[in-house]
Amino acid sequence: MTKSSTKTRPNSATDDPFLWLEDRTGKETLDWVHRQNEITVDELQGDPSYQTYFQTALDLMTAEDNIAVGSALNRHVYNFWQDKTNVLGLWRRTAVASYKTEKPDWQTIIDFDSLSAKEGVKWVFSGANRLYPDFSRCLLSLSPDGGDASEMREFDIDSKSFVEGGFCAPASKSSFNWLDKDTVIVSAAFEEDEKTQSGYPRIVKLWQRGTRLEDATPIFEAQKQDLAAGGSLEFDGDKRHLLLSRTLDFFASHSFLRLPSGENRRIPLPEDVTDTVLFRDQLVFGVRSPWTAPDGTLCKPDGLYSLDFVGWIETNALGPVETVLAPADRVSIAGIARTRDRLFISLMDNVRGKVVACDRSGSGWSLHPVALPENGSVGISHAERFGSSVSFSFTDFLTPSSIIWSDDNAATLATVKSQPARFDASSLVSEQFEARSKDGTKIPYFVVRRRDQDGPVPTLLYGYGGFEVPLLPGYAGVRGQLWLEKGNAYVQANIRGGGEFGPNWHQAALKANRQNAFDDFVAVAQDLVKRGIAAPPTLGIQGGSNGGLLTGVSLTQHPELFGAVIIDVPLLDMLRYTELPPGASWMAEYGDPAKPEEAAWLAAYSPYQHVEPDTAYPPVLLTTSTADDRVHPGHARKMAARLQAAGHAKTLFFEETEGGHGGRGDRRPQAAQAAMKYVFLQRALTGVA
């Protein structure tokens, strides 16, 4: 690649000609957004295939026979549901026995379309914290635009109405949990002095019914430079514990127990503790790096351990540490959950799922595999903390999702929901291969393609590689109909930085080692070409958020390898990402551009600073959302403007006005974006749609 000039590599805000595009809702900025959207809509929605693609995507996203995924609580199964009629969705519930039938008798709790029409705000459901023990009262979270900031209101489920004079708080990134029926634990982020530098809650307060929110009593504080503070009431049988947390960054935290005396006593575990849960007086935990407990037990990553939590409360001394699950090669912990009487561990074994059930008796821990389907993605769909119901999900690239249910702690299992097939998979095969990265590390990846493929075909390579997040096999009807059924291939890369093989796999691409993730992705692309699955002109790539950074770097470092690039809700200006809230929260992942040494490694790959005017880039589509309050839309805007200013005319940009980072809310804009992306790929990689 040709080296760029100083003019094309701004090193400070004063050198950046597109800094004005960081103004989220400024008139000049939004005028630019609207002009860009018009061009992209004309180009992609004007394609003859678009309307069919859009209708297919919308039909699949809103199909009446989609699985109603639910969680059980106090004899009911709760579900959030969207279809063509209920655009913003219904929060509803049914009896457990009814849920298992083909046509459950759902009772609507809240109709968000009706609520939005009544109040003139397109409310997006953001969750509800329900009050123990009857769970009829809840603290309801409502986002006005699909972003992370939400309004809170107290709601009565039995009467299906907001509580007059009840708890209520304006939209913010605060969080709310019940302490008791007259007290709410508020993790506050309303005023500037209540926020961390990342914009998340810094102070935890207790808010008494009938008093003003601003008069709530502070009980805990984090530091301004921390990521967040939080508080919640945790149950272990009949015992209740008020736990507080000071989250230092994404991977380090201090946890505290609030004692009846008012003391906040720190739980003496390492900062990088993970996968914690209270179960039968034991605190179960994992670690991200080796830790030797006071009794000499060596706790290793990818294992689970426990200590006597009640004994620690009584004596303030950490007793013996027991091993719940020993580490194993290429096996990592995907998550843990508990019912009242059993603990469940979700595992990934070479990126394939399994679940282990754990029991606790006087003699220690006993583990038993749960008899679930193999060689696919198995997850814990729900576990009833105050009961004995638990459900599991199963899927793979070619197998529609199903829900496997148990009312007796997984002693007996029954498949209660199965999604119908959305595409013809009879001619397709799912395979797992390995590529060798630049440093010799073997990188697994999955390929879904026609069994009789002979020669390169249009191929979509998807990746993420960050924040310990694994990419697992999963069924997608839209991808099946709009991509695979057309004879194209889909590839999912399990690169370093993700969580597929535990903390070490993630840490291998942290901070100064970030280039490893990018090299892994390129290695997979090169391996696809070597195997004849794709050729550079037929290979497209896609990633969102951190994955958008991945595809942005791939574009600027190896434009010759790809025929199309989709960059969704991305980070791209890594020299200014901490200036765009809440970017400061990710410094543990990427590094701090305010520190010269760390700025150097960020500058080495930051896509925005590496756009070259004299390099042949493939067609690019960047997407974002005005309402995205997690990754600022300025990243995608500036990158599109810079590419276009450098003469790269095949750069398209589209910004949705609502939906936030995850595109929540109305499914029609989601279907439209999906359709545009597949039109873009088909045109770029084949020349036709």
Q: Which residues are catalytic?
A: 545, 661
In angstroms, the CA 406 to CA 391 distance is: 6
Tokens of 440: 């010799």
* β pairing state of 539-544 and 364-369: unpaired
Q: Nearest to residue 366, comparing CAs of 323, 409, 315?
A: 323
Start-to-end CA span in the chain (Å): 31
Q: Which two tokens stand for residue 684?
A: 């770029």
Give the side-chain half-sphere CA count within 13 A for 534: 28
Residues contacting 101, CB < 8 A, separation 6+: none
User: Nearest Cα to 116, choosing from 139, 93, 82?
Assistant: 82
Q: Which residues have a Cβ under 8 Å from the Cβ of 51 and sit 6 or more positions away?
A: none
Pairing state between β 651-656 and 620-625: parallel
Are 657 and 663 in contact, with CB atoms under 8 Å apart? Answer: no
| Strand order across the 107-111 sheet | 71-73, 76-81, 90-95, 107-111
On the CB side of 511, how many CA atoms lie within 13 Å of its CA?
12
* Cβ contacts of 247 within 8 Å, gap of 6 or more: 222, 226, 227, 228, 229, 230, 253
In sequence order, the β-bridge partners of residue 306 are 284, 322
What phi, psi does 87 have (nearest 5°)? -65, -45
Pairing mode, strands 489-493 and 442-450:
antiparallel
